[in-house]
A and B are shown apart, each in its own frame.
Chain A
């Protein structure tokens, strides 16, 4: 009998694959159905945003950083504003801080809803995707209400917000917050004890706590492994030290625990949003009263010379930021999200570096999928919640 020939097979996955959440290419080496090794290639969506920001004035950077990651647009602009405000030494009014926290928590729910829908679809539960996008639509409507733009509102500004909250904002947010908990129960009914979902996710893509630290996987991946690091608790920013919430953690570090952590985070975010809504008055101050960064009200521009000059300066030259550097991270939907901002004292940034949680998660894909089955690759890619635009920037 001839000797059985054994050799590994290489399979190319991507760059155009519906389950890679963008343009990610992975070369897998297979022994039967088991993955022996894998090599990921990224960079297909590299748009040079960091180089572009160096040509823009400080305020113009905000739309750019929002477009890095379409699921955490407001978290990105929030992190950028916090870093620049630290350099400028601005003390942001309380009402603005509460509105910002409300918006980034809504953004977190938005991101987790899209994650839950696409992840569930990839492991076989297509209906959950449709339900999640139904609820997410309401969040996009709120974005449209505040800024006229659904995905990238560019509503935050260095020094505050672009304009005051629209009429009906409290009602829209309240009705969404009232609706979501019941819907989350529905999703959990569909998934949490679903035998197929459990088989696809339990014990799959395990990342231990120590490995999560070594691979810098903060956020839901690290918390699912029992690493309770949350920037909101460890390094409170923008008033988070006054907010009551719990950090959800898991124990196993597998795909299923990441699901549980993210669902629990959505519930916590609902609580945070309710606390913030109570603190926010329907109208009031929406930007810091500092003539360096905040444009004067339009009625003054038309009647007062000083205001006209100030308006002209802000919109033509922009403002200068004192020389120095700052890094104020926030807890984005995918983990620590921050912008390292370097200024040479001019009206344009000298260097802006985004800490991309997606990039680090993508890097840690190989240790998570190696040794597992090829069908689990999709479940793992879904569970780490990468946005390829944020990976490649």
Chain B
């Protein structure tokens, strides 16, 4: 199934979504606006004849200084029948926000945290949007194109973590709620 066919199918299921097939050669690719991405992904996952149940990957690309600056990329796959699909979601540089898809795939949890960490794209509805790879108190988002390749950060001596028992418990309760929510 190529991109125009898939787009036609999707338009029938999600009529309000603005979809635009792209001409990528390696796999079918559809451009979706940020507002429609959740509805489109639900349709792709839950429609039996589409069957894109597998979220292979989720990432972002920074096209600085072009506008819209960011592009969210979702790689989906259907195993039976074997099919692949890529969704691209343009994200403006001024207000980089896209809806979270953690309620569709729990696998997206850490992937979205990684994108927030490295690109600074905010995932609306993500219950626990913290840095994943960089230290919590890090300044900036390293994979942005305007972030320098080498930064000199003074050596930091960590104080022992001062968390009261109540705070510690509150963190664990929060983490548990997050997981049960997804």
Contact = CB atoms under 8 A, between A and B. Distances in A.
Interface in A355-375: 355, 359-360, 362-364, 366-367
Contacts of B25: 86, 324, 326
Contact of B172 (A39, A213, A350): A39
B75 A350 contact: no
Contacts of A50: 118, 143
Give the one of B26, B61, B176 with max A CB within 10 A: B26
A331 to B, nearest CB: 12
A69 to B, nearest CB: 16
Nearest to A7: B169
B38 interface: no
Given A229-B79, A363-B110, A216 B135 contact: no
Contacts of A325: 24, 26, 61, 73
Given A216-B54, A340-B57, A327 B86 contact: yes
Interface in B43-87: 53-57, 59, 61-62, 73, 75, 77, 79, 82, 84, 86
Given A350-B61, A363-B107, A366-B179, A43 B132 contact: yes
A327 B176 CA distance: 35
B2 interface: no
The B interface, classified by DSSP as helix, strand, loop or mixed, is mixed
Given A46-B134, A218-B54, A327-B75, A342 B61 contact: yes
A367 B79 contact: no
Contacts of B79: 227, 229, 234
B124 interface: no
Interface string A9-38: 010000000000000000101000000110
B161 to A, nearest CB: 10
Nearest to A360: B107
A312 B122 CA distance: 45
A27 to B, nearest CB: 7
Given A216-B56, A327-B86, A86 B26 contact: yes
B34 interface: no
A51 B107 contact: no
Interface residues of A, number: 49
Give the one of B55, B84, B111, B133 with max A CB within 10 A: B133
B172 A46 contact: no
B82 A235 contact: yes
Contacts of B57: 327, 338, 340, 353, 355
A211 B172 CA distance: 23
A27 B172 contact: yes
A58 to B, nearest CB: 16
Given A51-B142, A326-B26, A329-B56, A46 B61 contact: no
Interface in A170-221: 213-216, 218
A318 B105 CA distance: 40
Given A27-B172, A229-B54, A367 B179 contact: yes
Contacts of A350: 61
Contacts of A218: 54, 56
A92 interface: no
Given A326-B26, A340-B75, A351-B62, A359 B110 contact: yes
Interface in B118-136: 118, 131-135
A331 B135 CA distance: 32
B97 interface: no
Contact of B143 (A51, A363, A364): A51
A48 B142 contact: yes
Nearest to A38: B175
A48 B140 CA distance: 14
A66 interface: no
A336 interface: yes
A55 interface: yes
Interface in A42-96: 42-43, 46, 48, 50-52, 55, 83, 86-87
List the 3 closest A-B pairs by CB distance, nearest first: A216-B107, A43-B133, A234-B82
12 contacts: A29-B172, A37-B175, A86-B26, A214-B107, A218-B56, A234-B82, A325-B26, A325-B61, A326-B26, A327-B26, A342-B61, A353-B57
Interface of A: 10, 27, 29, 36-37, 39, 42-43, 46, 48, 50-52, 55, 83, 86-87, 213-216, 218, 227, 229, 234-235, 324-329, 336, 338, 340, 342, 350-351, 353, 355, 359-360, 362-364, 366-367, 392-393
Interface of B: 24-27, 53-57, 59, 61-62, 73, 75, 77, 79, 82, 84, 86, 105-107, 109-111, 114, 118, 131-135, 142-143, 149, 168, 171-172, 175-176, 179
